[in-house]
Amino acid sequence: MCTWSMISLQDANSPSMEHLTMFHDHTLTINILITMLVLYIIMSIYMNKIINRTTMQNQLIELIWTFIPMIILIFMAFPSIKILYLMDEIFTPLITIKCMGHQWYWSYEYSDFSNIEFDSFMIPTEELNTNEFRLLEVNNRMVIPFNTQIRLLVSSVDVIHSWTIPAMGIKVDATPGRINQTGLLAIRPGLYYGQCSEICGANHSFMPITIESTNMESFISWIKNFN
């Protein structure tokens, strides 16, 4: 999760987030190189008082600085399209979970199991235990097994919300009357936090999301002991 003075992305916990992190680094490297080149040219022109008259009406230069940006955009577009395709595909999901947004909490339903349905409210600050995070802890976590393909069906019962887990590279709009689908695959156990990312009313900042990623044995035990 994000901590104070953190300027980088969160550690990835899904293949899609790993691809997004690599694409971010790839794009940022290209942007830095372009910025350095442009600044160098600007400073060279500013410091040099000599004017080359052949650069004022040079068709070859016009062709070069039109063609090169096209090549750069292609190098940025192809990885982006690949990631969009990978994020959209869901390969043989083992578990389906319905996530419903409310003002102002989330409710979850495990469609493959009977009677597994619960609401998830933020824990007030005065009720937090030691080492729990303010505005991020909930009374009922969404428990999932890691290394397992999961289908998420996201919607809302009132206004537009957005179900977001940055460490997993997931941001899905919860729209009333519409079901949005995405895939979830955690690659290691742990606790992962998110929040509603669509301004949805007065308590928009108080409807966090907490995912508990665990092994399959613990997940089955949680299912059996669910009340």
69-117 confidence digits (pLDDT tens): 888 888 888 888 888 887 776 678 889 999 999 999 999 999 888 788 9
Q: Is residue 104 part of a domain?
A: yes
Closest CA to 134 of 210, 201, 59: 210
Q: In terms of domains, do 74 and 164 share one? A: no
64 and 28 in a common domain: yes
Cα 193 to Cα 41, 63, 171, 207, 217: the distances in Å are 45, 49, 12, 11, 22
Element (H, E) at 177: none
More confident of the two residues 56 and 225: 225
> Does residue 166 contact residue 194 with C-beta atoms inside 8 Å?
yes
* Token output for 135: 């505005």
Q: Report if residue 27 sits inside a domain.
A: yes
- Asked whether residue 10 is assigned to any structural domain, the reply reads no
Residues 76 and 100 in one domain: no
**Percent of the chain predicted with pLDDT > 70:** 95
- CATH number at 206 reads 2.60.40.420
Per-residue confidence band for 131, with pLDDT thresholds at 50, 70 and 90: confident
Assess whether 186 and 122 both reside in one domain.
yes
Domain count, the chain: 2
Give the structural domain span for 34.
Answer: 15-47+59-88
Look at residue 169 in the predicted model and tell me its pLDDT: 87
- Please tell me whether residues 190 and 102 are part of one structural domain: yes
Residue 207 has pLDDT above 70, yes or no: yes
